[in-house]
Structure 1
Amino acid sequence: MADAAVRTANSDDVPDIARIHRETWRTAYRHLLPEEVLAGLGDTTQAWAEAVADGQVFVATEGSFLVGFCVAGRAPEAEVARADGTLPADAATTALLSVLVEPRWGRRGHGGRLLATAAQALRDNGNTRGIAWIPEADKASGGFYGKAGWESDGTVRTLDAGGRPLREIRVSGGLTLLLEA
């Protein structure tokens, strides 16, 4: 494997981040989302430019290729609330993360490096716990977070995915992560 690294994203990375977001969803979620939803994924470049400017995005590289990213920041109260709407005691120190690695670059440790790097940065900013929302049927993402010691906390939400319900589970775990060799 060529040199692999994780770093904070910069403005030059935005087009690749938007491309990876779009193409990974079209590949990884083709069995979960209607074709018209995936085909209609719009240009997210501006949204990613704002997230990158806020310093909330990390990118994974292999050699000269940008192969994945992780967006991580303080979780909004609506994302961390329990099913009954109440907030846990650690709501103010809970972070929301999302990791995406292009499928063709998968199973090479990029996701783990992204998650570990983001977790370190979040800990440095006073966060104590992380959460992520994943499609319930997405066994690959469930396995990925499971290897990091994260598990479902029992909270579920259902999104409207082009007229088809998409059930997501919230996984949660600590931010002290060790990379597997």
Structure 2
Amino acid sequence: MTTSSVRPASVDDAPTIARLQLAVWRQSFATVLPAAAVNTDPTSHSASWANRIEWGGPVLLALEGTEPVGFAAATSEPDRRNLLDTLGEIEVLHVVPRWGRRGHGGRLLVATAAELRRRGARTGRWWVPQVDSATARFLTAAGWAEDGVRRELDTGAAPIIELRWSGTLDLVAI
């Protein structure tokens, strides 16, 4: 039986993360993202991820055996509504579709939440494209909920409408 795991990403993982992200974009978001994003040069995209990881992440990599299958990146900042609290934000969490429904997304969410808690956050948020019903179902199952805030991203083509989801970072398992 293959072991599944999540580990912190290193700068050496940047090309892998870029490849994973572009694979997810092409398979799941090609109708939402502009063609320029879907066709991003993997080398420059890899450099961006290397900078992100070097900056201090956290960036996590999901593995099935030794095969990278997904990743997550998060950040934290003081909560503007209560400066004594820290707010965690999941910037991205992707699992390549062919590796879906094997628990990788749940493991990534739990590991990301643990890292954000380590940084002082108790609650989190995540902007999700309105058309991404799979992630909406996943977050609902994890106990998160839309909080009524939406934003429109100008892509130079059709805008992307994102809904903000909020939830606790006290996740044990999904």
Whether TM exceeds 0.5 here: the answer is: yes
Q: Which amino acid in 1 is paired with 2:11? A: S
1:147-172 deviations in Å (ceiling 9; x for gaps): 11111111100112232111000111
d(CA) in 2 for partners of 1:153 and 1:32? 22
- Shift of the alpha carbon at 1:47? 1.7
Q: Secondary structure at the match of 1:158?
A: strand
Alignment of 1:87-98 (within 5 A): 87-89=80-82, 92-97=85-90, 98=92
Contact map agreement 1:68 1:110 (CA 8 A) in 2: yes
Contact map agreement 2:130 2:161 (CA 8 A) in 1: yes
Contact map agreement 1:36 1:162 (CA 8 A) in 2: no
Match of 1:72 in 2: 74
Match of 2:98 in 1: 104
- Shift of the alpha carbon at 1:10? 1.2
Match of 1:23 in 2: 23
Match of 2:9 in 1: 9
Alignment of 1:1-181 (within 5 A): 2-40=2-40, 43-53=44-54, 54-75=56-77, 87-89=80-82, 92-97=85-90, 98-180=92-174
Q: Secondary structure at the match of 2:82?
A: coil
Deviates more, 1:40-49 or 1:121-130: 40-49
Structure 1 unaligned blocks of 5 or more: 81-86
Q: Which amino acid in 1 is paired with 2:60? A: F
1:76-117 deviations in Å (ceiling 9; x for gaps): x7xx7xxxxxx3226851011121111111111001101101
Q: Which amino acid in 1 is paired with 2:81? A: P
Structure 2 unaligned blocks of 5 or more: none
Equivalent pairs counted in the alignment come to: 171
Q: Percent identity?
A: 39
TM-score, structure 2 normalization: 0.89
Greater per-residue strand proportion: 2
Q: Which amino acid in 2 is paired with 1:139? A: S
Contact map agreement 2:70 2:94 (CA 8 A) in 1: yes
Q: Secondary structure at the match of 1:161?
A: coil
